[in-house]
Structure 1
Amino acid sequence: MASHRRVTELALLKRKIETRFFEKKVSPGQVVNKFISELDILLQNLHNTNIDCKDKRHKQYEQRHQQNISYDNFLTMIQSNQVPIIMNTSMMSNKKTNYHRLVKRLKHKFYLSNIIVQKTDKSKVFHLGKLQDYHKKSSEYMNKTAAYTCLGANDPSADLIDRTNKYLLDLRLAHWITQKQYEELSIKPNEVKLAHLYYLPKAHKSGTPLRPIVSGLKHPTIKISRLLDKMLRPLSDRLARDTTITSGSELIKKLYNVIDLYTMIPQTEGILAIRRMLDYLNVKQVDGLKIETIIRLGRFVMQNNYFQYNNQFYHQVRGGAMGSPLTMTMANCYMYFFEQKIVKQIQNSGGIYVRYIDDIFISINWP
């Protein structure tokens, strides 16, 4: 029964993984086959872990549908992209229910064994890692960047919601924003949720470092961040169009990487770079918002990035949250002015300097 269950789980993982490649219209190749083989070894170990099954109907289901399936033959079929449906006609009617039950069981097994299966950064393949390794690298990253302050178990959500609404009300009463903008940006406690931190492994780099992502789709400041990004990104793109590119595929040679770009930019200097961009482009207002209002809102967003990780709350005190819409625009503005001196020297000598977010390509023609 354990062997049959393992084969079923492996088939599910195979289909879900390959679907991601088919959506992108690329061939998974032998890398996926190797990954599936590693998953099989993991699943064999996971099935040695006893898991209480409280659902009697689930037990009866497994007892009714035991099948003698050769794993070696099944793996051969998987590797040839011929994944069989290992459910008979009576099982098909319950396919959806069984599928979600199977996914839940797999997640539970990985959870019990402290295993993380995560899509990688940029290359978009899958990485198999240990939870303790993620926690270790997370701690090392936070210590290295000094960009975060641990708040312990003190949840800052309620205070942040109150301060956000009060800040917007003050701007409205001072006529810095319109009534419509105030209503669009204001938040309700039941509509927001503090961000959470997770990591994407950089499998294409030595030692598999982690890229931090602060997922804050319902963060109290997300509406402000989106509004500012919508206003400022077209201006930022126009400012830096001669030294930036918009597609990673344009960089075909070895790149120089700006390490931890988003977290290493000082917040004050990042906001000042936005003001400098607006002054440089001689922009007096954007979509009805005065420059001073934009700067005030941007500063509020940058200074109020909070998130939760591993049952602890954190406040980001340096840089911007990778996951906040405004952060990329701020980083591009900062980098544009930071790199101008060297860009002019390189271009005057006939060289090339282009940047894609935090990756830089330089061709130097110096004697």
Structure 2
Amino acid sequence: MADKKVTSNIPHNQYQAMQNLKSDQTIVIKSADKGGAIVIMDREHYKEMSLSQLQDNQFYKKLEQNTDRQTMLKIQKLTKKYQGNLTKNELEYLTDFEVKTSHFYGLPKIHKCKEIQENVNKCNSTYIKLLRPNDLKLRPIIAGPASSTQRLSNLLDIILKPLCTKVTSYVRDDMDFLNYIPQTVPRETLLVSFDVTSLYTNITHELGIEAIKYWWDKYPEEIDDRFPANFILEGLRIVLENNDFLFDDENYLQIKGTAMGTKVAPTYACLVMGFLEEKLYNVLPETFDLDFTQYIKENWKRYLDDCCIVNDIPELLESDIIFHCLQSTEVCFVYLWIDDPVFVTL
């Protein structure tokens, strides 16, 4: 029986427009970083914005050649060292697959671009046209579902994820967050939210390793006892230090932070933030009384870098609330204090 002819539900002129956009080599089409919008950018402008990030020597380094082979040799050496702790399937999963190099791309942060927002407010339309807005930034993504480190990253994520539930401020998802919101609050209560500046790329490798070791030492029972701490830390270092990728046919290496795209990144970032919070809880009594310290510890909640606190402390409500960025090991951490600025070294 012949296949039935399928009638397109897209008008011909719209279909043709989509094909024209698809074949146009002068543009790049990306989804917006937030909000679900589609952004069509001039290819050269997109390339310039991407290169402006990749040329930042604090975070990225240009490579002469691809390093996937060397990275796989490191993973093979790791698995051989700990082969007694890994099943046959795990050994094959980590080493026996076709490696494909990661690729860099950027998601336009239109929600933070003043030029775009001003034009949106003025325009009564479903789309706007704005050429090369000066303040548009990109969120860097390194996509590599078959990269050399992705499977090791996935295994580490599975191993470490149970530790997240031990973080005092941990919020699993939006429904979990709603469970923390009080049913009734005083009229003057403020719901205050913060986020962390470029969390993934700002976590130094040494801080990350220190944080993971801290949580492993504190809650070893949460980790499958087949996996020793050294396997986890050595494997994590391989993932962090061998994040190479391609952009515009050039090889690069991320030398600081973790990639937004690798499997273990959210769990890793959550535990690093939790580690810094533990340090904060320890030093709060040096400046504030125990009741205030306990209030912060119980009410400060966080999902990755999105922090929130329900503020109904009279002393805070009667004072000017001052927000300060506490710079700790190069991670920008935001907390609120009262009256005079209080800077705490974590």
**TM bucket normalised to smaller:** 0.5 to 0.7
CA distance in 2, matches of 1:162, 1:103: 44
CA contact (8 A) 1:161 1:187 kept: no
Counterpart position of 1:167: 78
Counterpart position of 1:186: 95
| 2:221 partner SS | coil
Counterpart position of 1:326: 264
Using the TM superposition, give the Cα deviation of residue 276 of structure 1 relative to its aligned residue in structure 2, in angstroms: 0.9
Q: Residue type of the partner of 1:197?
A: F
Using the TM superposition, give the Cα deviation of residue 255 of structure 1 relative to its aligned residue in structure 2, in angstroms: 3.7
Counterpart position of 2:239: 301
Please give the TM-score of this superposition, normalised by the length of structure 2: 0.67
Q: Residue type of the partner of 2:92?
A: E
Using the TM superposition, give the Cα deviation of residue 334 of structure 1 relative to its aligned residue in structure 2, in angstroms: 0.8
Q: Give per-residue Cα distances to partners, 1:285-341, cap 9 Å, x unaligned.
A: 416222221222112211111111111111111111111011111111111111234
| 1:128 partner SS | strand
CA contact (8 A) 1:224 1:301 kept: yes
Using the TM superposition, give the Cα deviation of residue 358 of structure 1 relative to its aligned residue in structure 2, in angstroms: 1.9
Q: Give per-residue Cα distances to partners, 1:52-79, cap 9 Å, x unaligned.
A: xxxxxxxxxxxxxxxxxxxxxxxxxxxx
Q: Give per-residue Cα distances to partners, 1:257-297, cap 9 Å, x unaligned.
A: 21111111011221221121111113384162222212221
Mapping of 1:37-116 within 5 angstroms? Answer: 85-86=11-12, 105-109=20-24, 111=25, 113=26, 115-116=27-28
In the alignment, structure 2 segments of 5+ residues that lack a partner are 1-7, 114-134, 179-189, 320-346
CA contact (8 A) 1:267 1:319 kept: yes
* 1:268 matched to 2:206: yes
Counterpart position of 1:134: 46
Q: Check 1:171–1:211 CA distance in 2 against 1; reply closer, same or farther (3 A cut).
A: same
| 1:307 partner SS | strand
Q: Residue type of the partner of 2:94?
A: L
Using the TM superposition, give the Cα deviation of residue 242 of structure 1 relative to its aligned residue in structure 2, in angstroms: 3.2
**339, 360, 365: which one aligns with 2:307:** 360
**99, 107, 120: which one aligns with 1:200:** 107
Q: RMSD across aligned C-alpha pairs, in angstroms? A: 3.2
| 2:110 partner SS | coil
Using the TM superposition, give the Cα deviation of residue 208 of structure 1 relative to its aligned residue in structure 2, in angstroms: 3.2
Please give the TM-score of this superposition, normalised by the length of structure 1: 0.63
Q: Which structure is larger by alpha-carbon Rg, 1 or 2? A: 1
Q: Check 1:162–1:258 CA distance in 2 against 1; reply closer, same or farther (3 A cut).
A: same
Counterpart position of 1:3: none
CA distance in 2, matches of 1:341, 1:308: 38
Q: Check 1:140–1:250 CA distance in 2 against 1; reply closer, same or farther (3 A cut).
A: farther
CA contact (8 A) 2:171 2:177 kept: no
Q: Residue type of the partner of 2:254?
A: Q
CA contact (8 A) 1:303 1:317 kept: yes
Structure 1 moving runs of 4+ over 6 Å: 251-254
Q: Residue type of the partner of 2:22?
A: K
Counterpart position of 1:64: none
| 1:204 partner SS | helix
CA distance in 2, matches of 1:285, 1:135: 43
CA contact (8 A) 1:216 1:222 kept: yes
Counterpart position of 2:254: 316
Counterpart position of 1:156: 67
Q: Check 1:283–1:156 CA distance in 2 against 1; reply closer, same or farther (3 A cut).
A: same
Question: Which structure: greater strand fraction?
Answer: 2
Q: Check 1:106–1:264 CA distance in 2 against 1; reply closer, same or farther (3 A cut).
A: same
Counterpart position of 1:94: none
354-363 vs 119-128, greater mean Cα deviation: 354-363
Q: Residue type of the partner of 1:361?
A: C
141-150 vs 307-316, greater mean Cα deviation: 141-150
CA distance in 1, matches of 2:235, 2:32: 33
| 1:132 partner SS | helix
CA distance in 1, matches of 2:251, 2:300: 40
Counterpart position of 2:154: 226
